[in-house]
Amino acid sequence: MNESLFTVFYALAHRSPTLDWGIIFFAVWWPWLVGLAAIVAAIALAVRDRLPHRAVFIIFVPMVAWFIAHLFK
């Protein structure tokens, strides 16, 4: 499956600057924007409900998982 997806995206490369920009945007910047939105949502919910431990949990757990994954790599 990975090879077939790679072939599809590779066939689309350098055909349209807009499409190239879109693929690069979703591959590089989209995960950062989704992560930032999750952090903002966690903080907003914690402030609204006055539960700061919820925001700490939502933000801290993925950071620890990321660190452990990179440690093992």
Q: Which long-range contacts (CB under 8 A, 24 or more apart) does 6-10 make?
A: none
Q: What predicted TM-score, i.e. pTM, was given to this entire model? A: 0.60
CB atoms within 10 A of CB 32: 9
Regions of the chain where pLDDT drops below 70: none
Half-sphere exposure of 32 (CA within 13 A, CB side): 6
- The per-residue pLDDT for range 27-42, each reduced to its tens digit, is 999 999 998 998 888 8
Q: Cα(44)–Cα(25) distance, rounded to whole angstroms?
A: 26
DSSP conformational letter for 25: I
**Which residue in 53, 12, 59 sits closest to 35, CA to CA?**
59
